[in-house]
Amino acid sequence: MEYYTIASILIVMSALFGYINERFLKLPITIGLMLITIVFTLIVIAIANFDDTLLLQEKELISNIDFETVLLDIMLSFLLFAGALHTNFNQLKIQRWPILAFATLGVSVSTFLVGISTYYLLMLFGFDINFIYCFLFGALISPTDPIAVLGILKKAKAPKKLEAKIVGESLFNDGVGVVVFLTIFAIAKLPGASIDVGSIARLFGQEVLGGVALGLVLGYVTYKLLKSIDSYEVEVIITIATVMGGSLLAHQWHLSAPLAMVTAGLIVGNDTVRKSSMSDTTETYVDKFWELIDVLLNTVLFVMIGMELLVLSLETNYILAGLIAVPLVLLSRYLSLWLPVKFFSKRLKFVPHTNLIMTWGGLRGGISIALALSLSTEMHRELFLVMTYVIVVFSIIGQGLTVEPIIKRLARGAE
């Protein structure tokens, strides 16, 4: 299929399913679209018992989409920039130290805990899998997905300081998580080779610190360009160029594009920068444009996630391992957040039950699936892909549907 044909079909499906959700289900868009797509896919599979024409066409469509490349190299930069652009910078600044701890220490500890628990879980199912591959699974499933989190929290009405922690962590731990995954992936590709700790530290530092540094430069240059003119058309185009050009530079220089886009988005979206560089008209158009991009890409992404069901090896052991891994992943997240929450809670007056809310509100999404798709056959790709998909579906639908009442109940009375 041609790229235009694939894109057209995805947009039409997104519009149709989005309409059904808004007209009848009225669920948050990320939950509604993925749920409808999964149900649609299951119906197609059932119809295939009588006529497999539609099933073959849908399989051809999804097999022609390089999910990993489309999400990680194209969509993610736009989504992260849009999310950061509309994040409360002042609250983020106040909560910067716990957010940093959650996004670094939290992801690292969670990766370790998930890796260990997964290793022993898979032993119970008779799988003989190397430790390093279990750590790879821990790295790809530990980061919360900012795309899913932002979509759900828009309707959850969480207290501002709690929302800042969840959103801020999800924006930054995404970039850190991808770097952790790539680091372990590089080690796993060379089994038996000696591990050069210095090279690993340099790679990690280059990706993380280099990505943030690039984002600072991009944000500052964008700010100066926006400040020097007053033309909303050109200024919107400048923000697009920041994302597309910045992503190309990040990939070229082997820096973290997600962290670069988050940093640039936070700078451009800062209230002080907005007031000094954009007119009211420009600010309105920039905000509306990126809100539309956010919604459009979100709808397409979650339709794609739902359709990924067709390419999975749905063996019973794989599904059961994924279901049992759900509480293990949640427990690992809770434990990984315990120390930072304990350390900062009194100093910054955390909302009651912050750890529990952040554990349940830390949704997994397309990024985990994209990373799982990048595994090789030797790394037990099919097994970990099914486990990841089960966790993501539970996270988006199960946690996503219940996070709002949990926040209202546990954070009652907090500002």
Interval 6-58: pLDDT, tens: 999 999 999 999 999 999 999 888 889 999 999 999 999 999 999 999 999 99
Q: Which tokens is 282 given? A: 């420009």
For 85, the domain range is: 67-410
With respect to residue 18, please indicate whether it lies within any of the assigned structural domains.
no
Of 366, 356, 310, 333, the residue nearest 150 (C-alpha): 366
Residues 299, 296: Cα–Cα separation, whole Å: 5
Residues 401, 62: Cα–Cα separation, whole Å: 27
- Mean local confidence (pLDDT), 76-101: 89
- Mean local confidence (pLDDT), 217-228: 97
Q: What is the pLDDT of residues 201-213, one digit of tens each?
A: 777 788 889 999 9
Sorting pLDDT into bands at 50, 70 and 90, what band is 194?
low
Confidence at residue 146, expressed as pLDDT on a 0 to 100 scale? 75
Sorting pLDDT into bands at 50, 70 and 90, what band is 165?
confident
With respect to residue 296, please indicate whether it lies within any of the assigned structural domains.
yes
Confidence at residue 281, expressed as pLDDT on a 0 to 100 scale? 95
Does the structure show a pLDDT above 90 at 95? no
Of 97, 85, 17, 71, the residue nearest 348 (C-alpha): 97
Q: Of 83-97, 144-158, 210-224, 385-399, where does mean pLDDT reach its minimum?
A: 144-158
Average pLDDT, the chain: 90
- Mean local confidence (pLDDT), 345-360: 86
Of 190, 82, 77, the residue nearest 132 (C-alpha): 190
Does the structure show a pLDDT above 80 at 197? no
Half-sphere exposure of 82 (CA within 13 A, CB side): 23
Q: What is the pLDDT of residues 270-314, one digit of tens each?
A: 988 999 999 999 999 999 999 999 989 989 999 999 999 988 988
Q: What is the pLDDT of residues 380-399, one digit of tens each?
A: 999 999 999 999 999 999 99
With respect to residue 391, please indicate whether it lies within any of the assigned structural domains.
yes
- Mean local confidence (pLDDT), 230-246: 97
With respect to residue 49, please indicate whether it lies within any of the assigned structural domains.
no
With respect to residue 389, please indicate whether it lies within any of the assigned structural domains.
yes
- Mean local confidence (pLDDT), 324-344: 95
Q: Of 136-150, 212-226, 393-407, where does mean pLDDT reach its minimum?
A: 136-150
- The Cα diameter of the chain in Å comes to 65
pTM of the model: 0.92
Confidence at residue 18, expressed as pLDDT on a 0 to 100 scale? 94
∠ Cα 171 174 179 (to 5°)? 140
List Cβ neighbours of 226 (8 Å cut-off, separation of 6 or more). 235, 238, 268, 277, 278, 282
Confidence at residue 210, expressed as pLDDT on a 0 to 100 scale? 94
With respect to residue 156, please indicate whether it lies within any of the assigned structural domains.
yes
Return the higher-pLDDT residue of 411 and 98.
98
Residues 243, 269: Cα–Cα separation, whole Å: 14
Residues 287, 275: Cα–Cα separation, whole Å: 13
With respect to residue 3, please indicate whether it lies within any of the assigned structural domains.
no
CATH number of the CATH domain containing 94 = 1.20.1530.20
Confidence at residue 338, expressed as pLDDT on a 0 to 100 scale? 94
With respect to residue 25, please indicate whether it lies within any of the assigned structural domains.
no
Does the structure show a pLDDT above 80 at 379? yes
- Assess contact for 362 and 140: CB atoms under 8 A: no
Q: Of 64-68, 88-92, 396-400, where does mean pLDDT reach its minimum?
A: 88-92
**What would the 3-class secondary structure string for the chain be?**
CCHHHHHHHHHHHHHHHHHHHHHHHCCCHHHHHHHHHHHHHHHHHHHCCCCCHHHHHHHHHHHCCCHHHHHHHHHHHHHHHHHHHCCCHHHHHHCHHHHHHHHHHHHHHHHHHHHHHHHHHHHHCCCCCCHHHHHHHHHHHCCCCHHHHHHHHHHHCCCHHHHHHHHHHHHHHHHHHHHHHHHHHHHHCCCCCCCCHHHHHHHHHHHHHHHHHHHHHHHHHHHHHHHHCCCHHHHHHHHHHHHHHHHHHHHHCCCCHHHHHHHHHHHHHCHHHHHHHCCHHHHHHHHHHHHHHHHHHHHHHHHHHHHHHHHCCCCHHHHHHHHHHHHHHHHHHHHHHHHHHHHHHHHHCCCCCHHHHHHHHCCCCHHHHHHHHCCCHHHCHHHHHHHHHHHHHHHHHHHHHHHHHHHHHHCCCCC
Domain count, the chain: 1
